[in-house]
Amino acid sequence: MTASVSITLKVNGETVSADVPPRMHLADFLRERLALTGTHIGCEHGVCGACSVRLNGEVVRGCLVLAVQADGAEVLTVEGLSDSGEIADLQEAFRNRNALQCGYCTPGMLLTAQELLAQGGVPDRETIREHMSGNYCRCTGYQAIVDAVETTAAARAAARG
């Protein structure tokens, strides 16, 4: 076995230090070491998007980043985004539109949608579909998700005036 590596990173605003095996990926680290189980694991080969987290401001697949690569980084998970209120309107739109059924893809969907919404403007449905096309949902057929993202974009644009 390869020796553990010490890492220190900021997760949802809290500084965390840990010794991790070099092979442990970030999603496992968040789930198993920090009990932040909102980051879900669907495929562990970077396809499904359920493990999406924000790493230094960019949405990445938690299963394709090693925990050691996150040393010194800032990580935001769905729990952190929920507590800060950053995506409260998006979550409300998902709730009202029933844009989730089993909820397993949802954290990844929210992170990915917020990335698009943060670019500003009101993207058309095709743009939303294209942006969300790396996130797998088996329940909804995607339309409700597209609707919820579109509604949030329009509301944010209206609020900006």
Partner 1 sequence: MTARNPLTALDRPNSYIGRAVPRPNLTRLLQGRGQYVSDMTLPRMGHVAFVRSPYAHAKILGIDVAEAKAMPGVIAVVTGAELAKVCSPWVGVLSHLKGLKSAPQHAIAVDRACWQGEAVCAVIAETRAQAEDAAERIFVNYEELEPVTDMERALEPDAVVIHPELGDNLAFERNLDAGEVDKAIAEADAVVEADFLFGRHTGVTLEPRAIIADWNPGEGRLTVHQGTQAPHMMQNIIAKHLDLEEAQVRVVCHDVGGSFGIKVHVYADEMAVAALSKLLRRPVKFVADRIESFNTDIHARDHRCKGKIAVKSDGTITAFVIDDITAIGPYSMYPRTSAIEANQVVNLVGGQYTNMNYRARARVVFQNKNVTCQYRAVGHPIACSVTEGLVDLAARAIGMDPAAIRRKNLIPDDAYPTGSASGLKFEALSHHASLDKLLAMMNYDALRAEQAELRKKGIYRGIGLATFIEVTNPSAAFYGVGGARISSQDGVAVRLEATGRIVVQTSITEQGQGSEAITAQVTAHALGVPMERVRVILGDTDNTPYGGGTWASRAAGIGGEAAWQAGKALKANILAVAATILQSSADALDIVNGFVVDKGTDAERLPLEEVARIAYFRPDTLPPGFQSELMVVRHFVPRQYPFAFTNGIQASYLEVDPDTGFVTLLKHWCVEDCGTVINPQLVDEQIRGGIVQGIGPALYEHCRYDENGQLTNASMADYLVPMAAEMPDIEVAHVVSPTLESELGAKGAGEAGTAGAPAAVVNAVNDALAPFDVRITEIPMTPEVILRALGKV
d(CA 57, CA 111) in angstroms, rounded, equals 11
Fill in the per-residue mask, 1 to 30: x = in contact with partner 1 (CB under 8 A), - = not in contact: x-------------------x-xx------
Cβ closer to partner 1: 127 or 160?
127
Q: Which of 105, 116, 117, 153 is in the footprint of partner 1 by CB under 8 A? A: 105
| Alpha carbons 40 and 90: distance in angstroms, whole number | 19
CA atoms of 155 and 160, how far apart (whole Å): 9
Beta carbons of 111 and 52 less than 8 angstroms apart: yes
Among 13, 22, 95, 118, interactor with partner 1 by CB under 8 A: 95
Size of the site for partner 1 (CB under 8 A): 57
**Sheet hosting strand 52-55, strand order edge to edge:** 14-20, 5-11, 74-76, 52-55, 58-61
Site residues, partner 1 (CB under 8 A): 1, 21, 23-24, 31, 35-45, 47-48, 50, 77-79, 82, 91, 94-98, 100-107, 110, 125, 128-130, 132-146
